[in-house]
Chain A
């Protein structure tokens, strides 16, 4: 059963993703999943497994989200990797630890330059579901 999801929202120029999850970890996991599905990677025939350990600390949940996605973009660019599995061991309002798995070499068909703070607010509704709307510079 899905622990959350995402949808693309209209933006005149950039990429705007609305993401939700049943808990805080699911929100961050689904944000990463949304980004890396949207990037539409093309895998090389010789692609091999890739992985990366992530340990982040931030002053607030929004910055933690920007840091998390920025870290994944950076690691993807450097390793030429497509991340598909996001195993998060610890997610608090200010800490995120986990391991991401993927394959490399891989090339995205779409470019995302960066994760922005614009309109980014992480909130929890009455049913306990977490959500965020994230704007990416493309």
Chain B
């Protein structure tokens, strides 16, 4: 038997940014495994188990095209982070591990009509108020109180539930992927344990790499598209990154466990038990998708409630001083999800289950799923960088539609373990460094801050350069942080 872990010699360079492990590399591969990367990113990917995990995903039954990893790739569990896999609905599988435990972890961006320079004197006060208003940290409970019956409504309606409760407006929904509600959600497929964990966490940020940031738009690459999205150079904007909290974690835990017998039942061979799967059309697969949709909807309700808290703080802190902040939804994307979508395969439309694990949908112009007011320019793609560096707004393209099932990267991607970051970075020093650079920091602990140090991540400019240069997404604007809040 040959090598099971690809080395650089096993890769074929297809274009300046495309590297491929041919399907002949391992007997169990059904399709090639493709990495989008520059030379540095490729070297990083070769230094951990990213490519081995990518090759593993190329073995999933019913996979079409190629297994893909975006340039923010790094080793995960089961799938690599940055992984995209599309399987046929007719005879392919769905894998809970291909979505991950934080179902519909995602990002939303709010624009303002405030000039960042005018807000600077109040950034510290804003961050302190946000830190007090938006619950952060592990197991944090929010001010949104619901009982089990209402929680089930949240799981079915998603962000729409929050808007109905006065926590947002119609535009918020129009500018959210799937209008903030994934179809097919069935709360009866969600365990009582997951429900219990979700009761108190609507409107909470959580911890880890989740954050809330105040940023300034510092560069605009396409003025017309930026204007369409409501972004202008020098303006203040707000980034929110979080997911489905304990409810989503429990849904994935439940289904990774309960699907294990499905491997024997459907005679599925996988190289890693975390890739456990079931046919999309099977009762087990359908149950998972129904539960996953519930968790996805919970995450959208969560981000919507946080949006309400942010608006409330802005009104209170800035309303009398600078007038209406006009916090408008630019867009909300999920980057841990499996979606049933139609894409062209071998020239024909095919219904596919597109797994995006640490990858963002990037639909190009003209797709009906893109909001009407953005349809001419393509779907906004939100790529947060590491803390203290910067983030990008891009739009999806026809290249993404043709090549990556309308997908692109989701962030910078880690290069250093959290343990390594804690050992090599002083959280206190990092806090002082950021403050010296004019970034107000509010974090629960210096240790948590150190885990997310910029040194622990790839250069987001390099990552975005790959997707922009290859054409699978197009740069619109870059932002830099003025205030960072971490769980």
Contacts and interface: CB of A to CB of B under 8 A. Distances in A.
A70 interface: yes
Interface residues of B, number: 45
Contact of A113 (B81, B196, B249, B447): B249
Nearest to B415: A12
B117 interface: no
B250 A74 contact: yes
B224 interface: no
A116 B253 CA distance: 8
Contacts of B75: 11-13
Interface in A1-38: 8, 10-15
B419 interface: yes
Interface in A87-117: 107-111, 113-117
A63 interface: yes
Interface in B238-270: 246, 249-250, 252-253, 256-257, 260-261
A137 B256 CA distance: 13
Contacts of A115: 253
A21 B144 CA distance: 44
B252 to A, nearest CB: 6
B321 interface: no
Contacts of B257: 63, 66-67, 70
B420 interface: yes
Contacts of A13: 74-76, 81, 414, 417-418
A131 interface: no
B148 interface: no
B90 interface: no
B138 A11 contact: no
A105 B184 CA distance: 37
B272 A12 contact: no
B139 A77 contact: yes
Q: Which of A10, A13, A59, A77 has the most CB of B within 10 A?
A: A13
Given A8-B419, A11-B417, A77-B197, A109 B249 contact: no
Interface in B300-335: none
Interface in B56-81: 74-78, 81
B77 A14 contact: yes
Given A109-B445, A111-B138, A12 B414 contact: yes
B344 interface: no
A108 B444 contact: no
Contact of A12 (B246, B417, B444, B448): B417
Contacts of B76: 13-14
A138 B256 contact: no
Given A12-B48, A108-B138, A117-B273, A63 B260 contact: yes
Interface in B126-179: 137-139
Contacts of B208: 111, 113, 138
5 A-B pairs closest in CB distance: A117-B273, A118-B77, A116-B77, A114-B101, A111-B138
Interface of B: 48, 74-78, 81, 97, 100-102, 137-139, 193, 196-197, 206-208, 246, 249-250, 252-253, 256-257, 260-261, 272-274, 276, 414-420, 444-445, 447-448, 487
Given A15-B418, A78-B197, A107-B139, 16 more contacts: A11-B417, A12-B48, A12-B416, A13-B74, A13-B75, A14-B77, A63-B257, A66-B257, A67-B257, A74-B193, A111-B208, A113-B101, A117-B78, A117-B276, A119-B272, A137-B102
